[in-house]
Structure 1
Amino acid sequence: MRDEDFRGDERPNIMELFKCLPVIEHLTTWGYMSPLLVQDSVPRELSTLPIHLKYFCMEEFGFGDGYGLPFLCVLIKYSPSLEKIKLQVGSGHYDETEPDKLEEYSVILEKYPDVWLEHLNELEIIFFENSKLEMEFVKFIVVRSPGLKKVKLQLYRVGKNEELKMLNILLSAPHASPVEIVVENLNQMP
């Protein structure tokens, strides 16, 4: 579905999504939908909460596209029953050579200090490239999830030395509970 598929001023947003799906337990969506759902801004409050949502998967998730992360933050903030988050990272990466972009996207996470994922027990990220924002997101989740048992990262374009450094950072970061970090390198690089 593309932006031009909607006629007139009738475009969906995140609030309408949850009004239509108040008792959904499993939700899988494409990252390409998040610009349509987020539009100009993400609400800080949802009128209809996805309180039954246990599993959320987003394919083609973009950490740096300006839409994926705000959509995900709102979703997790208002999904108290969430047990698993699965993200398949797509092509929406930001350019790490632009420090302003990293700061801009990191500010998104800072807007959600009250996120507490009491029931989350698994986080899985496919095509994890070990970008600064991806690492900040994993640390954000780990520190706010007292029931988290497993973080599974399927690495993409990450060398062995970088993998070891990444693991040391994640293992030494603050955790709300002991967490097993499972790493699978999809393409072994020297």
Structure 2
Amino acid sequence: MAGTHQEMKAQHQSLDRISTLPQDTMEKVLSLMPIRDALRTSILSKKWRYCWTGMPTLVFDDKIVKLSSNVEKEIVKYKLVNAIFHVLLLHKGPISELNIFISNAEIANEIDQIILHLSWSKNIKKFYFGIYKSYKLPFSFFSLQGLECLELLFCKIEIPLMFNGFSMLKYLRFYDVKITAKMLQQFLTACPLLEGITFTGNHRTDFTGGDKFTFVELFKCLPLIQGVKFSRVYIKHFTAGGMSQKLPTSLVYLRILFLDQVCFHKHDELSSILCVINSSPNLENIKLKMIRPDRQYTVLDPQEYLDLNMAHLKELEIISFHNYTPEMEFVKLVMAKSPMLQKARIELNTSVSDHEEVKMLRDLLFMPIPRASPAAKFIIERPKK
């Protein structure tokens, strides 16, 4: 009988190998689960009871509480806030990554208190935050001095007078963030280690006040930048007024340039983009997503850019290519000035006919200026249905 008991115990232990894992490994496993499920593991055994309190990653979203659709808003708000405070008050270990994405805009005041509670921590390295409302970040947010990665959605930023910057921040993403040009410049200047920025959105960016903020002012704030992505709502401000052929300071660290919804119908936009490219001697990847011009487009004169420097460019990708003259001239220019180019991919807009596609291929085949990298793989595709 004893032997049978020992066998059963050994079999049980072999089946429950996860409980024998090191504590930090178990915490990382729990961090990959929805927080509701992670909390429920506390009933498994004594060893699991408080394991979740050391999770380094916390994710708070609408799924943290499970309620039927006909529950009153006040009850939903109470349950949601109560669950978040319950987790934070019982949590004991350091929080290195925090995600807060809440669609309930009625808990803005409670979120202020949550951020105030978290602002005492110097361990939070990654913070992803968004409420589906134009939520003004409290001043306590700017005390999170350990941040290395920050993503903000649907927020409004007003920088306090005593803000000393995020000295460790390396990656920043804004999506539909309301911030004036002056404050954005102040914010970026106070983050000297930034290596990657993503500014996207639809219409909420607020560059009012008449402050000039073009690519010239922007890149002055980003001496170590390696990768950037901008959507049109930002591009139209950064390219206002056009630019000369080079920026005052060379972007020696910039490797990736991704511009979403580019339109070459304005000389300002085209000249500004070429200026950034020409000021980035180590650029390796260019990705452009085009939009249809709403009026007559400008003309790109390749003779103006004979000194264009793209010595390290490896990949070019253009999406929604309309086959307009400035687009085609841009492709030819890149092909002629990129000796290290390995791949050029063009995805055609649906408006491009088969006849235009054939003509486009013929034009590229008989370029007046030879391709700098004859071995580069050139791909023309239509969008997948």
Out of 217, 222, 231, the position equivalent to 1:16 is: 217
Q: The residue matched to 2:280 in structure 1 has which SS?
A: coil
Per the TM alignment, residue 20 of structure 1 is displaced from its structure 2 partner at its CA by 1.2
Q: Judge conservation of contact 2:285–2:314 (CA < 8 Å) in 1.
A: yes
Please give the residue correspondences for 1:18-37 in structure 2 after superposition, counting only pairs within 5 Å: 18-37=219-238
Find out whether 1:170 has 2:371 as its counterpart.
no
Structure 1: state its 5+ residue gaps: 96-100
Please give the residue correspondences for 1:75-90 in structure 2 after superposition, counting only pairs within 5 Å: 75-90=276-291
Give 1:73's aligned residue. 274
Find out whether 1:139 has 2:139 as its counterpart.
no
Task: Report the structure number with the largest CA radius of gyration.
Answer: 2
Give 1:183's aligned residue. 380
Q: Sort the Cα spacing of 1:7 and 1:131 in 2 relative to 1 into closer, same or farther, 3 A.
A: closer
Find out whether 1:125 has 2:323 as its counterpart.
no
Q: Count residues with an aligned counterpart.
A: 180
Q: Judge conservation of contact 1:125–1:154 (CA < 8 Å) in 2.
A: yes
Find out whether 1:49 has 2:258 as its counterpart.
no
Per the TM alignment, residue 66 of structure 1 is displaced from its structure 2 partner at its CA by 3.1
Q: Judge conservation of contact 1:76–1:117 (CA < 8 Å) in 2.
A: yes
Superposition RMSD on alpha carbons, in Å?
2.3
Q: Sort the Cα spacing of 1:4 and 1:183 in 2 relative to 1 into closer, same or farther, 3 A.
A: closer
Q: Judge conservation of contact 2:310–2:337 (CA < 8 Å) in 1.
A: yes
TM-score by length of 2: 0.43
Q: Judge conservation of contact 2:289–2:320 (CA < 8 Å) in 1.
A: yes
TM-score by length of 1: 0.84
Q: The residue matched to 2:300 in structure 1 has which SS?
A: helix
For the residues of structure 2 that align with 1:94 and 1:180, how far apart are their CA atoms?
A: 33
For the residues of structure 1 that align with 2:352 and 2:325, how far apart are their CA atoms?
A: 13
For the residues of structure 1 that align with 2:303 and 2:251, how far apart are their CA atoms?
A: 22
Q: The residue matched to 1:105 in structure 2 has which SS?
A: coil
Q: Judge conservation of contact 2:262–2:291 (CA < 8 Å) in 1.
A: yes
Give 1:5's aligned residue. 206
Give 1:98's aligned residue. none
Please give the residue correspondences for 1:94-109 in structure 2 after superposition, counting only pairs within 5 Å: 94-95=295-296, 101=297, 104-107=298-301, 109=302
Out of 352, 358, 361, the position equivalent to 1:158 is: 352
For the residues of structure 1 that align with 2:209 and 2:273, how far apart are their CA atoms?
A: 27
Moved over 6 A (4+): 1-4
Q: Judge conservation of contact 2:227–2:254 (CA < 8 Å) in 1.
A: yes
Q: Judge conservation of contact 1:63–1:69 (CA < 8 Å) in 2.
A: yes
For the residues of structure 1 that align with 2:213 and 2:204, how far apart are their CA atoms?
A: 10
Per the TM alignment, residue 128 of structure 1 is displaced from its structure 2 partner at its CA by 0.4
Amino acid at match of 1:168: R
Per the TM alignment, residue 58 of structure 1 is displaced from its structure 2 partner at its CA by 0.3
Q: The residue matched to 1:82 in structure 2 has which SS?
A: coil
Give 1:91's aligned residue. 292
For the residues of structure 1 that align with 2:246 and 2:353, how far apart are their CA atoms?
A: 41
Q: Judge conservation of contact 2:242–2:269 (CA < 8 Å) in 1.
A: no
Q: Per-residue CA shift, 1:131-182, capped at 9, x if unaligned?
A: 1111111001110111112110000121222212211211222201112210
Bigger relative contact order (CA 8 A; separation at least 6): 1
Structure 2: state its 5+ residue gaps: 1-177, 179-202
Q: Per-residue CA shift, 1:79-114, capped at 9, x if unaligned?
A: 01101110000233653xxxxx5xx5324x443221
